[in-house]
């Protein structure tokens, strides 16, 4: 059982994204409904079960662990989980333990995260306008997030800003956000909005701002150089020569990046999604709970799931409709 995880297309699976909760203190319009019904506590993996699950994946060759949600830092006692994962960093089996967050709780937890071995955090932030921030997050407070960013940098964490490109919303802010990140020595990645969850009043076609257009906008103001650099994720990078900044583009719609996919996603209920843009999943909670003292059943279930990983997703807006739309919310799968 020590052989690495290889999918049907000869891709080694070395990256696990783990949602530790479906709950969040924001209600971002492209991620959640305003009035969400959250999962009963008994359906969620306990922190101890999350440890066993992640440790099994590490034992099978996963080298990068990204903790997501919902908002991961709102889960009670979550720091005990981060602290338990430190042993895999110390052993060298795990190369990176990292986090995607909305930043709201970083003022409280930045120092503890650094002590647990986290060195990088991705912070979701789509606008620097306080009113627009309140609109897009529904419940969010921009000053609280900015204090969290201050705390993260003070603690020694490398910060990357993830901004969802939203047509008619943050288009005019592209120069301001870019300059702000440059001044604070933070990387910036733009992400195309994906057709996830109940669209409700937020029509993804109206929101969709192609990153081809974002790149063209940059080219009007900067000298843009394409970089060959890849970081093991889906982003492609350019450098703005005037500032030296590295800007990332995650383009699930205008440019499918599936050929190099090395990741799978575990929900807080133990469902393993082999692809963000497909509905197929494997239930890993059942073998985890049925055989608490025998890891072989869980290992076998993981290997079977990886053997069904598809070649790629089906997201497509090209026909002026949200083809490939997933019924589950982004917060369920993990951001």
Q: What is the CATH number of the domain that holds 149?
A: 3.20.20.70
Is 265 annotated as belonging to a binding site?
yes
Is 29 annotated as belonging to a binding site?
no
Flag whether 25 is in a domain: yes
For residue range 168-216, what is the model confidence (pLDDT) as tens digits?
899 999 999 999 999 999 999 999 886 544 444 445 556 788 899 999 9
**Residue 251: predicted pLDDT:** 82
Is 17 annotated as belonging to a binding site?
yes
Is 24 annotated as belonging to a binding site?
yes
Flag whether 5 is in a domain: no
**Residue 231: predicted pLDDT:** 62
Is 69 annotated as belonging to a binding site?
no
Is 100 annotated as belonging to a binding site?
yes
Flag whether 1 is in a domain: no
**Residue 325: predicted pLDDT:** 45
**Residue 34: predicted pLDDT:** 81
Is 66 annotated as belonging to a binding site?
yes
Flag whether 2 is in a domain: no
| Residue 233: domain span | 15-333
Flag whether 10 is in a domain: no
pLDDT means per 10 residues, the chain with 335 residues, are 84 95 90 84 95 97 96 97 98 98 97 98 97 93 97 98 93 95 96 61 65 94 90 82 93 61 93 80 96 94 94 50 46 57
Flag whether 242 is in a domain: yes
Sort 77 into a burial class: Cβ within 10 Å, 0-12 / 13-18 / 19+.
exposed
**Residue 288: predicted pLDDT:** 97
Flag whether 276 is in a domain: yes
Flag whether 127 is in a domain: yes
Is 261 annotated as belonging to a binding site?
yes
For residue range 56-93, what is the model confidence (pLDDT) as tens digits?
999 999 999 999 999 999 999 999 999 999 999 999 99
Is 37 annotated as belonging to a binding site?
no
Is 263 annotated as belonging to a binding site?
yes
Number of domains composing the chain: 1
Is 30 annotated as belonging to a binding site?
yes
Is 246 annotated as belonging to a binding site?
no
Is 218 annotated as belonging to a binding site?
no
């Amino acid at each position: 059982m020590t052989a690495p995880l290889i999918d049907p297309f000869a891709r080694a699976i070395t990256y696990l994204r783990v949602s530790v909760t479906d709950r969040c203190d924001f209600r971002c319009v492209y991620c959640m409904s305003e009035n969400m019904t959250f999962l009963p506590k008994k359906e969620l993996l306990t922190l101890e079960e999350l440890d066993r699950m992640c440790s099994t994946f590490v034992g099978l060759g996963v080298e990068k662990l990204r903790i997501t949600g919902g908002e991961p830092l709102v889960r009670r006692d979550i720091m005990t989980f981060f602290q338990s994962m430190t042993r895999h960093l110390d052993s060298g089996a795990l190369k990176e333990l990292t986090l995607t967050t909305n930043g709201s709780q970083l003022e409280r937890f930045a120092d503890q995260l650094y002590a647990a071995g986290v060195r990088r955090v991705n912070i979701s932030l789509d606008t620097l306008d306080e009113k627009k921030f309140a609109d897009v997050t529904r419940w969010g407070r921009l000053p609280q997030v900015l204090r969290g960013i201050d705390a993260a940098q003070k603690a020694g964490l490398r910060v990357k800003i993830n901004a969802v490109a939203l047509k008619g919303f943050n288009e005019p802010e592209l120069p301001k956000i870019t300059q702000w990140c440059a001044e604070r020595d933070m990387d910036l990645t733009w992400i195309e909005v994906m057709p996830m969850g109940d669209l409700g009043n937020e029509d993804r076609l109206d929101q969709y701002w192609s990153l081809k257009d974002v790149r063209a906008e940059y080219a009007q103001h900067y000298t843009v150089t394409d970089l060959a650099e890849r970081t093991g994720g889906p982003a492609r990078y350019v450098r703005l020569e005037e500032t030296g900044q590295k800007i990332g583009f995650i383009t699930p719609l205008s440019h499918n990046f599936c050929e190099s996919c090395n990741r799978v996603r575990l929900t807080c209920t133990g469902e393993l999604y082999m692809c963000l843009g497909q509905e197929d999943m494997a239930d890993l909670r059942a073998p985890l709970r049925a055989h608490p003292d025998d890891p072989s059943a869980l290992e076998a279930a993981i290997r079977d799931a990886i053997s069904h990983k598809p070649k790629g997703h089906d997201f497509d807006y090209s026909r002026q409709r949200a083809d490939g739309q997933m019924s589950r919310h982004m917060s369920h799968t993990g951001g």
